[in-house]
Amino acid sequence: MRKIREVLRLKFDCGLSVRKIARSLGIGHSSAGDYLSRFAASGLTWPTPLSDAELESHLFPPAPMVPSEQRPLPDWAWVHAELRRPSVTLALLWQEYRLSQPQGFQYSWFCEHYRLWAGKLDVVMRQEHRVGEKLFVDYAGQTVPVIDRHSGEIRQAQIFVAVLGASSYTFAEATWSQQLPDWLGSHARCFAFLGGVPEIVVPDNLRSAVSKAHRYEPDINPSYRDLAGHYGVAVVPARARKPRDKAKAEVGVQVVERWILAALRNRQFFSLDELNTAIAVLLERLNRRPFRKLPGSRQAAFDALDRPALRPLPEQPYVYAEWKKARVHIDYHVEVDGHYYSVPYQLVKQQLEVRLTARTVECFHGNQRVASHVRSPQKGRHSTQTEHMPRSHREHAEWTPQRLVRWAEQTGPNTAGVIRHILERRIHPTHGYRACLGILRLGKTHGEERLEAACQRALGLGACSYKSLESILRQGLERLPLAQPNLPLLPDDHANLRGPGYYH
């Protein structure tokens, strides 16, 4: 009040302007003008005999009391739920509140008291999760024993848990492992359970999700990336050793362990299906259980918030696929699980990415599919498409059957015989190139003389293959003579020899 009295003195006793008064007292000219305006509105005269307290009450009268029924408190639970919707802000909600309550509280009070109310919720509730945006996935640390009926063996089932960010709607199921097939299968079944797809999936850094963890650019497992592309979701792994990035999943796992696994602790299960049936019953009860500090339940919040915002499921469910890398050999085939699949001959010596499902083999080069085959379980066989073969093998003319035979003749006639035997018994001679090159390279390892002797033995035994020749050379069998069977001569006359006349 001392400065206010000094403002009044300089104005009325000294006749200074507002700006000079402000400069003299080191205050803003707007503050000085406000004091003078309040003094003029109070009807007081200068000099005034009032005390500081009396002068302050005249210049700064208390705000008129508004009855509580005319200024009710906002519904903070409704505000908290509305903030999860896309693009909704506290400023927008305050404007709507003032439209319905013209005598309501001001914006600063509105924001301050909402944050005080939100601070009393659980840590997972204090995060701002948009509807339909994030799905947090993880495995529970606790496992469930499953007994084999026949052997009595006990296996520990893993518990997959998924929680939606906005509604905390929870999915849980048991699988045999945390390996890639079970991990991806749980995702597909979770999306089907939700009836839609979120925008983002937030996993932990387990090997099935992240091939190599990194703070800024983690390497997503190729099969996991394939599933994400099929459902149109983004995979954003939580940072390593940053549990707050997946606090929703941590709390979801804790809730599942308390309300589902703890309830099943005294039950015995003899199959995975039996365990999942029991989990499904308790999971429905969990999702319908009322919140402690918010109105409604997970099911109600899901129906009101997340379900309308989820994107539709694709027409076909995800088919599990594995990815591997393979290099194209000179016979324009790639080897997958012992079988050889053709690709366009222009890709010889290039490295391709191969996508394997239970029924198909797809080859990709530069993210473009270049070949597709029906998967074959026959090892050592070839699946060749005519359009993949060059017309006259111009790019690889030096790799012809005649040249391979001539090359083998430099070692010896027996080596040439083995090469000729292999090429003549293939539907396409190019299918035998790989084995022929391997045989000819054995001469560099063991010497041409030993290779020629080994080929002579292989021809005699009818074992003309790379593996047979490698075994002969490794064990030094080419130095041994071929064993001649010494069968005893049968006698001309014997009691057990009846002859053709016996049957007439």
Which residues of the chain are in CATH 3.30.420.10 domains? 134-309
Range of weakest confidence among 27-31, 48-52, 212-216: 212-216
pLDDT per residue over 338-396, tens digit each? 999 999 999 999 999 999 988 899 999 988 999 999 999 888 888 988 888 887 554 45
What is the third-level CATH fold of 134-309?
A: Nucleotidyltransferase; domain 5 (3.30.420)
Mean pLDDT to the nearest integer, 250-269: 90
Which of 208-222, 244-258, 269-283 shows the highest mean pLDDT? 269-283
Confidence of residue 172 (pLDDT cuts 50, 70, 90): very high
Q: Count H helices and E strands in the chain, helices first.
A: 19, 15
| Phi-psi group of 324: left, alpha or beta (phi > 0 → left; psi -120 to 50 → alpha; rest → beta) | beta
Q: Give dist(CA 343, CA 334) in Å, integer.
A: 7
Distances (CA, A) of 311 to 168, 187, 197, 231, 233: 18, 15, 5, 9, 10
**Is the pLDDT confidence value at 217 over 60?**
no
Q: What's at 6, amino acid-wise?
A: E
Mean pLDDT to the nearest integer, 33-51: 83
2-59 CATH choice from 1.10.3470, 1.10.260, 1.10.287, 1.10.10: 1.10.10
Q: What is the dihedral angle through the alpha carbons of 210, 190, 271, 259, rounded to the nearest 10 degrees?
A: 100
Mean pLDDT to the nearest integer, 453-457: 90
Give pLDDT, residue 144.
Answer: 93
Overall pTM > 0.85: no
Which residues of the chain are in CATH 1.10.10 domains? 2-59
